[in-house]
């Protein structure tokens, strides 16, 4: 995990270096840049794979193609097998992206399985930028007549460029010659439920087995690291499943597994996480559980830092970001990467509103699941990335593995609907029976900001905040959101929310 900046056209090198310096927190271990005619690449590195040999910008053996990457290529070993090990000089997963591009050009992006925002440059001034299909890793850009600028965070851009900042679309690549081209759909067009469920809530064992195997494979792929991996354990079903699979994998490899939980003293999240950690430790003997007790003062003091870190002012995101930030700050002292449960609710209909009108209709539910998965990069993924990377900590989301996404969205939506005797995410719960305590398998959905105790504390903290008039016609929905927007604007004045945060910030 890292931070990148890129420029193509008539740029100022000092501007590029200022931009890179503003995101140095994303990669505290190393920094690098390359300047070629009409192209500049900059990289802040968080060293996880091949700590000694993974410096960026990377360059191929002929010194004609350069690469900077923010993210992880989880199938890099498979790409090495396909392209030939003789091409590779390091153990870095990012090198797989470099050679895929050198061999196949932009078509090589289709080989990559993982989370990434990247930029290639060539000696003759060629350039290509790309972002993974789900937008797990952030990328923003500014297009002017004379120059195009890219960066991992909004804060990177100079004040005069901020009114032009836009979100670079997931699943797309851009070059000066070819323009903006889609190379992968966020949700592939072929992924549709195969058929209507004849008996909603009743499925064959083969489906349960497929769900379990897909999630297990995704978690195990994300355990790759030369510096250790931990788990953010909220005590909810999704993070508990991730922890269970990771604990078994780590035990097979003789490794400890640090787990991290945060909440107000006595909160339901802390209690549930402790139950999971103790259960897994009895099974595998390798859990190192850490609890961060969040006082009201901690939460209030972290609030402005959280808004600035996540570069967003949506109340539900901010409520989650406060405990997320405190968790990341602590966990970064122990590990460089953590696994999270992000994405499971959007894939398996975990949120309560999915089970209300109009989504009690299967087709409407399916359409909403597809939509919310496609919008994750504006919301929970942005919060997850920024809160962790504020402390140089990489977050990995196994449920957003391509195979898991495709499988989950191919399941008849009737199987995800709540009815008497059928709880939300019943299929997912059944897939991991025997891996977790029954109390956790049957625990109902609770928002992170609620379960951790942050919601009530923050609501009280902003109750007396003055109303704030928003700029650029942004419609603020509550006093709480207005208070968060004031903090956001102080940090990111000039940014147009509708261009960078998606429609949720304005409706």
Residue-by-residue DSSP string for 278-346: HHHHHHHS-EEEEEEE--HHHHHHHHHHHHHHHT---HHHHHHHHHHHHHHHHHTTT-SEEE--TTHHH
The owner of tokens 């339901």 is 268
pLDDT reported for residue 166: 97
pTM of the model: 0.94
User: What's the CA gap between 52 and 42, in Å, rounded?
Assistant: 19
| Predicted local distance difference test score (pLDDT) of residue 197 | 67
Q: Is the pLDDT of residue 504 over 60?
A: no
**Which pLDDT band holds residue 135 (cuts at 50, 70, 90)?**
very high
Three-class secondary structure of residue 35 per DSSP: strand
Q: Which residues pair with 395 in a beta bridge?
A: 338
Specify the pLDDT at position 475. 82
CA–CA separation, 192 and 311 (whole Å): 34
Residue 194 pLDDT:
57
C-alpha span between 295 and 445 (Å, rounded): 23
Cβ atoms of 314 and 481 closer than 8 Å: yes
**Given 2, 16, 173, 384, the catalytic residue:** 2
Tell me what pLDDT residue 29 has: 86
Binding residues for ATP: 262
Q: Which of 66, 46, 41 minimizes the C-alpha distance to 2? A: 46
3-state secondary structure of 34: strand
Rg of the chain over Cα atoms, rounded to whole angstroms, equals: 22
User: Is the pLDDT score of 404 beyond 80?
Assistant: yes
Q: How does pLDDT run across 138-166, given as a tens digit for each residue? A: 999 999 999 999 999 999 999 999 999 99
**What is the pLDDT averaged over residues 358-381?**
95
The predicted model gives 303-332 an average pLDDT of 94
pLDDT at 424: 93
> What structural domains does the chain harbor?
2-182 (3.60.20.10), 205-461 (3.40.50.620)
Q: Which residues pair with 67 in a beta bridge?
A: 58, 120
Q: Say what the pLDDT of residue 507 is.
A: 35
How confident is the model at residue 506, as a pLDDT? Answer: 39
Binding residues: 93, 262
Q: What pLDDT, on a 0 to 100 scale, did the predictor assign at position 470?
A: 58
252: its two tokens: 């097979």
- Give the mean pLDDT of 9-23: 97
Which H or E element spans position 78? helix 76-83
Dihedral sign for Cα 374, 347, 135, 448, please: positive
**Over residues 92-112, mean pLDDT:** 95
Instruction: Output the CA torsion sign for 259, 260, 263, 264.
Output: positive
Q: What is the mean pLDDT of the chain?
A: 91
- DSSP secondary structure, 420-445, as one string: TTB-TTHHHHHHTTTTS-HHHHTPPP
- Greater confidence (186 vs 271) lies with 271
CA 110 from centroid of its chain's CA atoms: 20
Binding site listing for L-glutamine? 93
Whether 505 has a pLDDT exceeding 60, the answer reads: no
* Phi, then psi, of 239 in degrees rounded to 5: -70, -30
Structure tokens at 240: 């508990």
Say if residue 41's pLDDT is above 90. Answer: yes
- Cα–Cα distance for residue pair 151/206, rounded to 1 Å: 44
Residue 198 confidence (pLDDT) above 80:
no
Q: What is the mean pLDDT of residues 57-68?
A: 93
The CA-CA-CA angle for residues 324, 286, 54, to 5°, reads 65
d(CA 135, CA 34): 25
Nearest-angstrom CA–CA distance, 426 and 406 = 18
Taking residues 463-492, report their average pLDDT.
Answer: 78
Once rounded to an integer, what is the mean pLDDT over residues 100-111? 96
Query: Residue 2 catalytic?
Result: yes
Q: Which of 127, 150, 13, 139 is nearest to 66 (CA)?
A: 127
Report the SS3 class of residue 85.
helix
Read off the pLDDT of residues 221-254 as tens digits, 9 standing for 90 and up.
Answer: 999 887 789 999 998 999 999 999 999 999 999 9
């Amino acid at each position: 995990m890292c931070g990148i900046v890129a420029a193509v056209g008539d740029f100022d090198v000092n501007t590029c270096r200022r931009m890179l310096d503003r995101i140095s927190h994303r990669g505290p271990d190393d920094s690098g840049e390359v300047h070629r005619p009409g192209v500049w690449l900059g990289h802040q590195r968080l060293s996880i794979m091949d700590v000694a040999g993974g410096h960026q910008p990377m360059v191929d053996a002929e010194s004609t193609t350069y690469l900077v990457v923010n993210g992880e290529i989880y199938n890099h070993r498979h790409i090495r097998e396909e392209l030939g090990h003789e091409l590779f000089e390091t153990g870095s997963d990012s090198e797989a992206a470099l050679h895929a591009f050198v061999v196949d050009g932009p078509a090589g992006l289709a080989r990559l399985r993982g989370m990434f925002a990247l930029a290639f440059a060539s000696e003759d001034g060629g350039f290509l930028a790309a972002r993974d299909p789900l937008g797990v890793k952030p990328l923003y850009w500014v297009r002017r007549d004379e120059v195009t600028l890219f960066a991992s965070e909004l804060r990177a851009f100079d004040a005069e460029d901020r009114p032009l900042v836009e979100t670079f679309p997931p699943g797309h690549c851009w070059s000066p010659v070819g323009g903006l081209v889609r190379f992968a759909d966020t949700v592939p067009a072929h992924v549709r439920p195969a058929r209507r469920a004849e008996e909603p809530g009743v499925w064959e064992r083969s489906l349960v087995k497929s769900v379990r195997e897909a999630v297990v494979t995704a978690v195990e792929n994300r355990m790759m690291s030369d510096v250790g991996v931990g788990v953010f354990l909220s005590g909810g079903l999704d993070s508990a499943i991730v922890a269970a699979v990771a604990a078994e994998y780590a035990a097979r490899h003789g490794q400890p597994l640090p787990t991290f939980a945060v909440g107000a003293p006595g909160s339901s999240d802390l209690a549930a996480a402790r139950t999971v950690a103790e259960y897994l430790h009895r099974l595998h003997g390798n859990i190192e559980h850490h609890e961060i007790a969040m006082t009201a003062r901690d939460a209030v003091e972290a609030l402005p830092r959280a808004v600035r870190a996540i570069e967003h002012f949506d109340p539900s995101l901010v409520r989650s970001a406060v405990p997320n930030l405190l968790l990341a700050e602590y966990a970064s002292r122990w590990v460089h990467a953590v696994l999270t449960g992000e994405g499971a609710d959007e894939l398996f209909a975990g949120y309560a509103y999915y089970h209300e009108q109009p989504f009690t209709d299967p087709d409407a539910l399916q359409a909403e699941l597809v939509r919310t998965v496609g919008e994750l990069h504006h919301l929970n993924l942005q919060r997850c990335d920024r809160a962790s990377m504020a402390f140089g900590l990489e977050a990995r989301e196994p449920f957003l593995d391509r195979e898991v996404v495709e499988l989950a969205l191919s399941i008849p939506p009737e199987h995800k609907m709540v009815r008497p005797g059928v709880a939300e995410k019943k299929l997912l719960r059944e897939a991991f029976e025997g891996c977790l305590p029954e109390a956790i398998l049957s625990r109902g959905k609770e928002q992170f900001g609620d379960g951790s105790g942050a919601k009530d504390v923050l609501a009280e903290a902003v109750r007396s905040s003055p109303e704030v008039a928003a700029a650029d016609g942004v419609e603020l929905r509550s006093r709480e959101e207005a208070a968060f927007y004031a903090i956001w604007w102080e940090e990111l004045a000039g940014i147009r929310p509708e261009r960078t945060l998606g429609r949720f910030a304005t409706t």
